[in-house]
Amino acid sequence: MLDPTGRHLFVDGLRPPPGFRMDVAVGTTYTLGLVSLLLPPLAMAAHDRVNVDDGDVRDDDIALLEAVRRLADRTTVFCHAGAIHVPGTYRRLLTFAEDCVVEVLPSRPGRTFHPKLWALRFTDGESMHHRLLVLSRNLTGDRSWDTVVQLEEDPAGAVDGAPAAVFLRQLPELAVKGVTAARSAQVEDLADTLQRVRFATPAPFTRGELWPLGVGTDHGWPMPDNVGRPVVISPFLDQKTLKRVPARDSTYVSRPDTLDELGSAAFRGRRTLVLDPLAETTHFTENEDSWSQGVGGEPGHSDTAQDTAPWEVRSGLHAKVLVWNDDGSGWWFVGSANATGAAFDGNVEFNVLLRGPQRSCGPQTLFAEEDRRGELTLSRILTPYAIEDADPRPDPGRRVEMDVAAFHAALATAGPQLVADEESEGRYDVRLAFTSDVPEDPGVTTMRPLSRSRTDARALGAAARWPDVGLADLSPFIAVMTEVTVDGADTPVRLECVLKAELVGVEHDRPAFILRTLLDSEDSVMRYLSFLLDEAGGSGWYLDGQADGERAEGSSLPRPTYEDLVLLETLVRAAGRGDESLTRVHSLMEDLRDHNGDSPVVSEQFLKVWEAVWAAVEPQRGGTR
C-alpha cells in the first residue's frame, strides 16, 4: 500500500472515460494556483494532440485556449479566500477562467476551507457517469507526496454518493460573494444526480464511506479507542491528536519542523519517521512557469518567485492518512484532513473511510519491507527521526502568520472593487475601492492589479490607482502583499495572495477583445477551428499540406491550410452530426468581429463557405444569433 512507484497524475483523474465528454465539474481546494486552474479544462477536453504532464502543457496552446473557452463555464472551483497564489507571470488566457473561481470561508470563524475534492459528471449524450477524486493535493503546481482516491460510479458499489451531494449543496452558501445563478444551478444539478449514485471501492478495500467535515454533518474523529498499530501520516500534528491516538505501537510520519515544534516528550513511546531526504522532490517551480508562454503569456509582466506561508507544504510530505486495525479489518482514513484538532473541529474537509481485509489493508502493509525484499515500499523512503529537544519549540512567527492570513481573508469579504474609468479608446484609469469597512492592517500592505508588475504596487488605501491600463490587461485579480515585523524572529513575516475583486465600469466585451488579440492570424483561427469541428481533438480537416512537413513559425505542429471542398465537407459533416460544434464555430466567428463588425483575420473565402453552411443550419437551431 502507498507504493512509491505507483504514481498517479492528477490530470489523469480528470480525463473522460472513452466515448464520454465532460458535462459538469466541481472542484475544491485550499490554495489555488491560477496557472494550475487551466489544467482541468485541458485534461477534460482530452485533446489527443496535446501532451499534458502534471503542471506542464506542451505542443499546442491553441488547444488550451479552446479547452478553457469550452469547459470553463461547466467548471467551478471553490477555494479559501485569501489563499490564491500570486503567479510569476500574468496570462491573459486567465480571462476565460475568471468566473470559475469562487472564494469561500467556513461558517466557523478562524477555521479553514481545506477540502480537496473533485466531483465530475461525464455524458455520452444518452447516459451519465460520475467520478469522485478525494485528494490531499491542492490545485497548485506543488511537487509534494500526496494521495488520491479515485471512485468510479458502479451500481453495485459499496460507497454511497449521498454525502458528496450534501457537501456540494453547502458550497455556494460559503461564498464570500454571491455565486451566479447559472453556477449555483450546476452545483445543485450535480448534487441531485450524485444523491442516487454508488461508487466502487478501490481494491483491495471492500467497503467505504464518504466523510465530509465542517458542513453540518455528524462526522468527527474517525479512529476508535484501543485500535491496533495506528499509523498517522500528516505534515501537521498537534497535542490534541496525540491524545486521541493510542500510544502503544503507534507510528507518526510527519515533517521534521512539525515534530520539533511538539518536542520529543510528546512522542514518548511512539515511533517518529520522516521522508528520507533522497525522496524529497527537488524539481519545483514556485511561480509555475514550467508552462510555455504560448497563448496568453505576458513575459513583460513576469516577477520572481513569491514568498508563501511556511505552513503551506509546497514539496515533501503532504499526504494525510490514518491507518489502523480494528474488528479484524484494516481501516484507512484518506483525504484532506491533517491530524490536528482544527481539522475535526470547524475546518471544512473531505475524506473517505475505507475498510478491507486486515492482511492486505492493515498497517503492516505500509512497513513490510522484510517480506517484500527488492520492492520499493513506503518504509524504504522513510527514515527514523530523533527530536532533539524534549520541550515544545514553537515558531515565534506562526501566530503572526495566521493573523495575516485571516487579514487577507477579511479583505476578500470587504468587497474589493477595481473601478475602471475609460480615459481614451481602450485605455483606463483604475482605482481600488471596497464596498465595506477594510480591516485593520497588521503591518504594511500593498496591492496591485495582477497584470501590473510588482513595481506598480500601491499602499492599501483610498489613493491606490493605476493609470493607462489597456483593456486586455484589465482583470478582477488583485495581488496583495503584507509584511509584519515579528519579535524574536530574524526576518519579518511576508505573505502574498491574490484576491478576486469586482471589475466595475468596463462596458466593452473584454473576453472577445482578448480572444482577438490571441487569435491574431488566419493560421491561428484555422487551427482553432480544427478543434471546434473535431471532438476527438482536431485531427480533422486542416491539411498537413506540405509534403516536407512545413511548420508554422514557433510551433511544433504543421502549418494549417485548407481547401474549399475539404472545409465544406467537414462543415457539412458537423451539421449532419447535429452536435455543438457548429454553434461553437458561430460563437467564435461572432467574437472575432471587431467594433465595426468586421473580421480582419478571417479571409473572405472562408467567410463565404461558413455563411452558406450556417444559413442552412440556423433555422434548425431556433434561428438565434
Burial class (CB in 10 A: 0-12, 13-18, 19+), 313: buried
For residue 1, what pLDDT is reported?
A: 65
For residue 543, what pLDDT is reported?
A: 40
One DSSP character per residue, 540-559 reads: SSSB---TT--B-TT-SSBP
Alpha carbon distance 289, 304 (integer Å): 10
Mean pLDDT, rounded, of the chain: 84
pLDDT at residue 494 greater than cutoff 80: yes
Alpha carbon distance 546, 526 (integer Å): 16
Cβ 117 vs Cβ 134: under 8 Å: yes
Grid cell 471546434 — which residue? 532
Q: Is the dihedral angle over the CA atoms 59, 61, 66, 68 positive or is it negative?
A: positive
Grid cell at residue 479:
495581488
Residue range 570-603, pLDDT digits in tens: 788 888 777 778 888 898 999 998 878 888 888 8
Determine what percent of the chain falls in helix, strand and coil, rounding each to the nearest 5.
30, 25, 45
Alpha carbon distance 531, 15 (integer Å): 17
DSSP H helical ranges for 49-150: 61-71
Grid cell at residue 231:
499509523
Alpha carbon distance 106, 85 (integer Å): 19
- Mean pLDDT on 71-94: 94
Residue range 25-45, pLDDT digits in tens: 999 999 999 989 988 998 888
Q: How many CB atoms lie within 10 A of CB 441?
A: 15
Q: Of 101, 53, 108, whose CA–CA distance to 81 is shortest?
A: 101
Continuous segment of H or E residues that includes residue 494? strand 493-500
Q: Which residue has the higher pLDDT, 563 or 161?
A: 161
pLDDT at residue 307 greater than cutoff 60: no
Which of 64-68, 128-132, 258-262, 334-338 shows the lowest per-residue confidence on average (mean pLDDT)? 64-68
Question: Reduced to 3 states, what is the DSSP secondary structure of residue 402?
Answer: helix
Q: Is the peptide bond before 277 cis (omega within 30 degrees of 0)?
A: no
Alpha carbon distance 556, 572 (integer Å): 29
For residue 564, what pLDDT is reported?
A: 55
Q: How many CB atoms lie within 10 A of CB 456?
A: 14
pLDDT at residue 160 greater than cutoff 80: yes
Alpha carbon distance 187, 174 (integer Å): 13
Grid cell 518504509 — which residue? 379
Cβ 301 vs Cβ 452: under 8 Å: yes
For residue 304, what pLDDT is reported?
A: 37
**What percentage of the chain has pLDDT greater than the value 70?**
83
Grid cell at residue 187:
452545483
- Outline where DSSP puts E strands in 360-437: 382-384, 416-424, 427-434
Residue range 389-406, pLDDT digits in tens: 999 988 878 889 999 999
For residue 549, what pLDDT is reported?
A: 40
Alpha carbon distance 536, 609 (integer Å): 23
Q: Of 476, 408, 351, whose CA–CA distance to 31 is shortest?
A: 408
Grid cell at residue 583:
454553434
For residue 620, what pLDDT is reported?
A: 61
pLDDT at residue 465 greater than cutoff 70: yes
- Mean pLDDT on 524-547: 60
For residue 316, what pLDDT is reported?
A: 81
Q: Write down all domains in the chain, each with its CATH number in brackets.
A: 10-213 (3.30.870), 228-384 (3.30.870), 398-506 (no CATH), 519-621 (no CATH)
- Mean pLDDT on 72-87: 96
What's the pLDDT band for 368 if we cut at 50, 70, 90?
low
Cβ 178 vs Cβ 152: under 8 Å: no
Task: List, in order, residues 6 or more apart from 238 with CB less than 8 Å away.
Answer: 262, 339, 340, 341
Alpha carbon distance 376, 4 (integer Å): 7
Q: Which residue has the higher pLDDT, 247 or 136?
A: 136
Task: List, in order, residues 6 or more apart from 389 with CB less than 8 Å away.
Answer: 260, 263, 264
